[in-house]
Copies of this chain bind each other. A is one copy, B any other.
Amino acid sequence: MKKILLTACIVLCCVACNSTERDGWKELFNGRNLRGWTKLNGQAEFRVENGELVGVSTMNTPNTFLTTKREYSDFILELEYKVDEGVNSGVQIRSHSKADYKSGRVYGYQCEIDPSAYSGGIYDEARSGWLYPLFDLPQAQKAFKRGEWNKMRIEALGESIRVWLNGVPTADMVCQMDMSGFIALQVHDIGPRQELAGRTIRWRNIKIKTDNLDEELSPAIESIPQKNYVPNTLSEREKAEGWALLWNGVDMSGWKSNSGKDFKKGWTCADGVMTINPKSGAGDIITERKYHDFELSIDFKFAEGANSGIKYFIGANGSVGCEYQILDDERHPDASKGFEGNRKLGSLYDILAAPGWKYVRRDDWNTARIVVRGVEVEHWINGVKILSYTKAGKEWDELIARSKFAKVKNFAGGDGGHILLQDHNDKVQYRNLKIRELNK
């Protein structure tokens, strides 16, 4: 009896452990038929040919998806594809089709296949559009091989989604919109264009690994930037690059009043947003720690007519230091004060004007970035550098001499300083407060 059981076990194991399932990899496509897949939305044809899964462009039918019946959350997916001229396609991951969302239209992360330019980027199908576009990444754009088999590798682990095309990193994104869902192969709508009908996208060697992923994960990507869409969090890559959260997204830990007041009624935390409540009298807040050389990134959004500011090099002089001005230039009277625009958004307040108004988005989140390397300082907004200055020398002394800070002894000097957020009695919101110390 014992022997029979053992034999049965061995037989069963051998059935499960065919060559494709060694090391925990599983074939999603068996090379013979479409078992395990379901067609959704359009009527484009999917067929099997010579061990290849073939999607066929079809006129007058919407985007068609061949979706896995199973849902996958964390995985490494590898596949090869070869695409005819003029065909747009993509590999959906963690995607969905729900009756109450656009009548079941497939939506979610799509690892792009498109001979035009952007293969390997991530497009949010039928929802928010480009999440990881390749517009500014020519090296990633060149990863795609025209007319040949291309190898795509996708690593989805928790909030991290990374894509490689032919070994070249093409996307590195952190996002939590979808943590699981089906995988799907797209054949894009071609409308009534007869000349595109019949053109194909071919897939083969579609395999997935869902367990023991640690042993196969690729090292951190360095050649392309990472986009982190989860507010108030640090990705592993950000941590490795030395970033730290200046705000935990939940409460005011790490911050204190700069004047000993009870500031927590004025500064509230909700839904991952830190809000200065108007006319609360709560006063400015500062980080408990001081910072020397650093890169600071903060999202901000202002209510109509609002005034606030991100100050740095705050030390012995109360709330006085350098300030990245946050101001509704169009509606706050301070915009026309000071000298020639040096109290406008993005300026070094009352010291040096900067054209923040050219790049700010009203009624939306904006990203302020301040970089300090020794005495060299930069102000950025939404990816555009708007100011650089040297915080030393005769020029700096002259700037301070004519500013509001002329009487301040050793203005913004000394050994590093705190970061301060200004309560100017107006509603301003902050999130995603991140800092990276440099030259450590």
Contact = CB atoms under 8 A, between A and B. Distances in A.
Contact of A115 (B130, B188, B398): B398
Given A340-B88, A386-B135, A351 B116 contact: yes
Nearest to A188: B339
Q: How many copies does the complex hold?
A: 2
Contacts of A355: 130, 133, 135
A9 interface: no
Given A130-B340, A196-B406, A340-B88, A352 B116 contact: yes
A117 interface: yes
A86 B133 contact: no
A24 interface: no
A407 interface: yes
A116 B88 CA distance: 54
A146 B85 contact: no
A112 B342 CA distance: 14
Nearest to A134: B353
Given A193-B406, A404-B193, A407-B195, A399 B116 contact: yes
B339 A117 contact: no
B114 A339 contact: yes
Contacts of A193: 404, 406-407
A87 B118 CA distance: 53
A202 to B, nearest CB: 16
Query: What's the dominant secondary structure at chain A's contact region?
Result: loop
A354 B177 CA distance: 24
Given A86-B401, A386-B135, A195 B406 contact: yes
A112 B339 CA distance: 10
B341 A87 contact: no
A147 B387 CA distance: 24
Nearest to A192: B404
A123 interface: yes
Interface in A168-214: 188, 190-191, 193-196, 199
Contacts of A397: 85
Given A340-B130, A341-B130, A398 B118 contact: no
A407 B404 CA distance: 67
Contacts of A398: 85-86, 115-116, 146
A402 B88 CA distance: 8
In this complex, which of A85, A123, A196, A336 has the most chain B Cβ atoms within 10 angstroms of its Cβ?
A85
A394 interface: yes
A21 interface: no
A395 interface: yes
A122 B193 CA distance: 55
Contacts of A406: 86, 193, 195-196
Contacts of A190: 402
A414 interface: no
A129 interface: yes
A340 B386 contact: no
Contacts of A352: 116-117
Given A116-B351, A117-B352, A354-B135, A402 B129 contact: no
Can you list the 6 inter-chain pairs with the closest CB atoms, starting with the nearest?
A86-B402, A86-B401, A85-B398, A85-B401, A88-B339, A195-B406
5 contacts: A87-B402, A130-B353, A135-B386, A193-B406, A195-B406
Given A88-B402, A116-B395, A135-B353, 8 more contacts: A86-B402, A86-B406, A114-B339, A117-B352, A118-B353, A129-B341, A196-B401, A199-B402
